[in-house]
């Protein structure tokens, strides 16, 4: 198939492009490189551009007969979305509408959307399944939920069929060491801990040790980047092979949680083998941090045939540590 991957120079997108190319798909990457990296597009053809550029989009779809589109391009910093919501609604919503409208005009019927667990807001129960109420508590989550709802309407009105994949905590790195996580600023726990281990930052702070968990620290669901990408590939196959109609959504996670302290313990074990150590500090709780966030991914396993391969924490950390050292 010929596929367009929007945001294919970013962390998740670049891993996705590699996976698609390795199974024989022709991949075109569209990325404005504001957070992505040209050197991360090791597979496929990179077109530098923005979804706000309708002329570019029209020409792109006129030049290529795409079989499907995967969309990873979005602003994703929760704190920034609160202080600058206009940026998030303009990029995550308005620009995505540009893409969807061009798809409709060019009769491209298959769309895979990178959504988020932030659409759920504060958890009412855990593990969180697809029936959990969606009540986002920040503009980032709200912007993603808007697209989920738009996709339902576009399926009914225009026959644009889609799958939304709601991630919990994407982590890890390419097992072959070619690609990894490189955000600025970095906000994800595992790379932050590893940066403290490698000396790129002074220490790692644990925000709150008095939660109602076994060790008092927050529990989160960490999903390896390759497992995340395999779910996208299976979702696309599902739309194509079954000629699936409508707008579907799946939660993606390990289905098991690891506490902040457990992550630190595993990191300390892995880095000690290379003679590194870690400075850990304790801080106060951060507002809005739930004690436990874990996904129920049974629907994706049942309908897509998805099964995480790298579901143990030590493997996830080892892959990420190899990338951090490099």
Tell me the pLDDT tens digit for each residue of 107-125: 999 999 999 999 999 999 9
Q: What is the pLDDT of residue 52?
A: 98
Lowest mean pLDDT among 17-26, 130-139, 287-296: 287-296
* Poorest-pLDDT segment among 40-54, 99-113, 281-295, 305-319: 281-295
User: Does this chain's domain 2-170+222-252 share its CATH topology with 173-221+255-325?
Assistant: no
CA distance 59 to 64: 9
> What pLDDT, on the 0 to 100 scale, is given for residue 241?
84
pLDDT interval class at 7 (50, 70, 90): very high
- Concerning whether 140 is annotated as a catalytic residue, the answer is yes
**CA–CA separation, 16 and 18 (whole Å):** 5
- Work out the pLDDT band at 143, boundaries 50, 70, 90: very high
Structure confidence by residue, pLDDT tens digits, 194-233: 999 999 999 999 999 999 999 999 999 999 999 999 999 9
pLDDT value at residue 286: 85
Domain ranges of the chain: 2-170+222-252, 173-221+255-325
Which pLDDT does position 289 carry in this prediction?
85
- Bond before 198 cis per omega within 30 degrees: no
Q: Does domain 173-221+255-325 have CATH number 3.90.25.10?
A: yes
- Give residue-wise pLDDT tens across range 63-100: 999 999 999 999 999 989 999 999 999 999 999 999 99
pLDDT higher at 244 or 132: 132
| Selection from 185, 176, 175, 168 nearest residue 223 by Cα | 168
- Look at strands 45-48 and 110-116 and give their pairing: unpaired
Are the beta carbons of 313 and 263 closer than 8 angstroms? Answer: yes
- Between CA 236 and CA 112 the distance in angstroms is 7
pLDDT at 125: 95
- Given a contact cutoff of 8 angstroms between Cβ atoms, the answer to whether 89 and 143 are in contact is yes
Active-site annotation holder among 140, 154, 211, 222: 140
Class of domain 2-170+222-252: alpha beta
Give the DSSP H or E segment for 168.
none
- Tell me what pLDDT residue 246 has: 93
DSSP alpha helix (H) spans, 159-242: 189-198, 225-241
pLDDT in tens, 233-286: 999 999 988 667 899 999 999 888 999 999 999 999 999 999 999 999 999 998
pLDDT at position 217 is 97
Q: Which residue has the tokens 């299976």?
A: 234
**How confident is residue 290, by pLDDT bands cut at 50, 70 and 90?**
confident
Planar angle of CA 77, 34, 10, nearest 5 degrees:
75
**pLDDT digits 0-9 by tens, 166-192:** 999 999 999 999 999 988 888 899 999
The pLDDT value recorded for residue 186 is: 87
Cα dihedral 175/177/181/182 (nearest 10): 180
**What pTM value is reported for the model?**
0.96
Task: Name the one residue in this structure whose structure tokens are 């000629």.
Answer: 243
Q: What is the pLDDT of residue 256?
A: 86
Are the C-beta atoms of residues 168 and 257 closer than 8 Å to each other?
Answer: no
């Amino acid at each position: 198939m010929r596929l367009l991957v929007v945001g294919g120079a970013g962390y998740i997108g670049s891993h996705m492009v590699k996976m698609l190319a390795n199974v024989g798909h022709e991949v075109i990457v569209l990325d404005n490189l504001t957070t992505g990296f040209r050197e991360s597009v090791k597979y496929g053809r990179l077109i530098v551009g923005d979804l706000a550029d309708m002329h570019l989009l029209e020409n792109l779809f006129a030049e290529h007969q795409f079989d499907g589109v995967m969309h990873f391009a979005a602003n994703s910093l929760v704190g920034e979305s609160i202080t600058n919501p206009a940026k998030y609604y303009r990029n995550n919503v308005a620009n995505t509408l540009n893409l969807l409208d061009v798809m409709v005009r060019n009769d491209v019927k298959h769309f895979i959307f990178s959504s988020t667990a932030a659409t759920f807001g504060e958890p009412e129960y855990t593990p969180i399944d697809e029936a959990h109420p969606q009540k986002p508590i920040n503009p980032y989550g709200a912007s993603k939920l808007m697209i989920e709802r738009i996709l339902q309407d576009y399926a009914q009105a225009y026959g644009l069929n889609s799958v939304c994949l709601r991630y919990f905590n994407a982590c890890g790195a390419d097992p072959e060491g070619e690609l990894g996580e490189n955000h600025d600023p970095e906000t994800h726990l595992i790379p932050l801990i590893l940066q403290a281990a490698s000396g790129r930052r002074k220490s790692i702070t644990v925000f709150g040790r008095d939660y109602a968990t076994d060790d008092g620290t927050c529990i989160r669901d960490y999903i390896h980047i390759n497992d995340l990408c395999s779910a996208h590939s299976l979702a696309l196959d599902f739309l194509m092979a079954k000629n699936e109609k409508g707008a579907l959504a799946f939660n993606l996670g390990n289905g098991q949680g690891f506490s902040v302290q457990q992550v630190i313990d595993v990191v300390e074990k892995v880095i000690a083998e290379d003679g590194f150590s870690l400075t850990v500090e304790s801080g106060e709780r951060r507002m809005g941090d739930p004690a436990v966030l874990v996904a129920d991914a049974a629907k994706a396993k049942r309908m897509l045939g998805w099964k995480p391969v790298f579901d143990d924490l030590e493997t996830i950390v080892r892959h990420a540590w190899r990338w951090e050292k490099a």
